[in-house]
Amino acid sequence: MSFASLGLSEELVRAVTERGYTEPTPIQAQAIPAVLSGGDLLAGAQTGTGKTAGFVLPILQRLSDKSVKGPSEGRAPIRALILTPTRELAAQVEESVREYGKHLKINSMVMFGGVNINPQITRLRSRVDVLVATPGRLLDHVQQKTLDLSHIEILVLDEADRMLDMGFIRDIKRVLALLPRNRQNLLFSATFSDEIKTLADGLLNKPAMIEVARRNATAETISQKIYPVDRDKKRELLSHLIKERNWFQVLVFTRTKHGANRLAEQLSKDGISSLAIHGNKSQSARTRALSEFKSGALQVLVATDIAARGIDISELPHVVNYELPHVSEDYVHRIGRTGRAGNEGEASSLVCVDELKLLADIERLIKREIPEEVVPGFEPDRNAKPEPILRNQGRGQQQRAPRGGQGAGRTGAPRTPGATAKPAGAAKPKPAAPRSGNGGGATAARNPSSHRPGGRHH
């Protein structure tokens, strides 16, 4: 199947080809004809499936098919509105609009908070056909009467599940009230929660439904591994792995903004070029860090979950969970940043005894057991006691109890009864033999009936 066979114009096919794509992904193959038909769409797609092109390409096609007459400059109406949860994702989507539409006479603009509003006001005085925006800054413009949404023909809610998680439901409803009733609505979400279904019921009119990739599935191209470690040895182990295994372009996740800053500083002191990206960073700092990371000039980017939305690097080789997320679905989103477009990727998680319950929840969600490797010199203390992980408001804002300090690692422990730290060079079990806690080897045993330190068992 080719992009031309989906009904796209020669200009759009040329732009897609110039970006190196020859065949549509499953979400593109289904979404493009559905959007071109003019009807509403409810689409479920994991990150990395190519969903952005799945709605950008047919939107550009529809807008160019019935182009609005009028000057290329001046106050022409905004015709398509794409709402995203984060600044990074907004910038990424608008870049796609520009790239795919470069052979068309369609103008686009990105709008988000954290930067001066005046240049955006100036830009709105010239022609904007497609507006990509975050909800908060969009409503700032509405309040200042610098924006007219009364001619919107197509509305897209991208990563709608994340927008609801971030508390944007009221803003979304305020935006919907400003739009014309007769329009096409496209809703994209990684998961179909009850909240998403409620939103879809009120927004969409007899939508086509598309869902690609099993919900909460992890890509087969991603190699997953757990590294058990004591909580106070996590940073040392991360530096060791990066240096000894020559990892470059490593995206590292922490739970908190403070933890991201601290880890980036520590890694830099270890001689590993690192920067942090999170909501408290200025937009210019976030843009610079992301640009350096994409170009390969920056070895490690440390991020919180929300800040990482929109990071789209087609050949990102390494994702590291320095701390496991409190919400299991976020593990899928995190590691989905690697292993994209058929490329292989490696997802590593540094797990201490405090996080064994979180690990069990993740394995239950993805319906698979993640293999473990104990790194010689970093064998966890099997007698370590777990400490509680407290949770602040909002995702990605969790922290440990005051004792022991902020997540500089949680005490890891082998996850089998009575298992001891494995000495370097211990023999690996034979592939056909069941994994038990008494044999050597880097991979810890995990029998269904085994009780694991910290109270974790299957």
3-state secondary structure 122-138: HHHCCCCCEEEECHHHH
365 pLDDT more than 60: yes
Region 85-99: mean pLDDT is 90
**Is 293 strand, coil or helix?**
helix
Closest among 369, 353, 371, 366 to 452, alpha carbons compared = 353
Between vectors from CA 144 to CA 140 and to CA 145, what angle results, nearest 5°?
115
pLDDT the model gives residue 286: 82
**pLDDT tier at 92 (50, 70, 90 boundaries)?**
confident
Select the more confidently predicted residue: 258 or 382. 258
Do strands 389-391 and 398-400 pair parallel, antiparallel, or not at all (unpaired)? antiparallel
Do strands 274-277 and 398-400 pair parallel, antiparallel, or not at all (unpaired)? unpaired
Closest among 15, 14, 66, 11 to 36, alpha carbons compared = 66
439 pLDDT more than 60: no
**pLDDT tier at 378 (50, 70, 90 boundaries)?**
very high
Q: Which helix (H) or strand (E) holds 420?
A: none
Region 121-149: mean pLDDT is 94
* Domains annotated on the chain, with CATH: 4-212 (3.40.50.300), 222-457 (3.40.50.300)
Q: What is the DSSP string of 150-176?
A: TT--EEEETTHHHHHHTT-HHHHHHHH
Does this model's pTM top 0.85? My answer is no
434 pLDDT more than 70: no
**Is 441 strand, coil or helix?**
coil
In the 8-state DSSP scheme, what is residue 271? T
Which range, of 98-112, 262-276, 380-394, 411-425, averages the lowest pLDDT? 411-425
pLDDT the model gives residue 116: 92
- Spell 422-448 as b/e; 16+ CB within 10 A means b: beeeeeebeeeeebebebebbbbbbee
Per-residue pLDDT tens for 271-330? 999 999 887 888 788 888 888 888 889 999 999 877 666 566 667 889 999 999 888 878
Region 245-249: mean pLDDT is 91
Select the more confidently predicted residue: 51 or 425. 51
Region 83-107: mean pLDDT is 91
Express as a percent the part of the chain with pLDDT over 90.
47
Q: Distance between CA 390 and CA 379 in Å, rounded? A: 26
**pLDDT tier at 132 (50, 70, 90 boundaries)?**
very high
Per-residue pLDDT tens for 220-241? 678 899 999 999 999 999 999 9
Asked whether 167 and 85 are in contact (CB, 8 A), the reply is no
pLDDT the model gives residue 409: 34
Q: What is the DSSP string of 92-152?
A: HHHHHHHHHTTTSS--EEEE-SSS-SHHHHHHHTS--SEEEE-HHHHHHHHHTT----TT-
Which range, of 120-129, 210-219, 246-255, 363-372, averages the lowest pLDDT? 210-219
Which range, of 48-52, 174-178, 352-356, averages the lowest pLDDT? 48-52
pLDDT the model gives residue 423: 37
Select the more confidently predicted residue: 407 or 63. 63
pLDDT the model gives residue 390: 62
Select the more confidently predicted residue: 153 or 21. 153
State how far the alpha carbon of 76 is from the alpha carbons of 58, 71, 72, 99, 126, in Å.
21, 8, 8, 22, 8
Asked whether 384 and 354 are in contact (CB, 8 A), the reply is no
Structure-block tokens of residue 151: 């001619």
Query: Mean pLDDT for the chain?
Result: 80
Asked whether 35 and 41 are in contact (CB, 8 A), the reply is yes
Select the more confidently predicted residue: 364 or 421. 364
**Is 225 strand, coil or helix?**
strand
Q: Distance between CA 365 and CA 361 in Å, rounded? A: 6
pLDDT the model gives residue 48: 66
Region 72-101: mean pLDDT is 86
Region 358-382: mean pLDDT is 91
Region 47-72: mean pLDDT is 78
Per-residue pLDDT tens for 163-210? 888 888 899 999 999 999 999 999 998 877 788 888 999 899 999 998
Region 128-148: mean pLDDT is 94
pLDDT the model gives residue 80: 97
Select the more confidently predicted residue: 410 or 356. 356
Residue type, 212: V
Select the more confidently predicted residue: 449 or 250. 250
SS (H, E, C) 365-384: HHCCCCCECCCCCCCCCCCC
pLDDT the model gives residue 345: 82
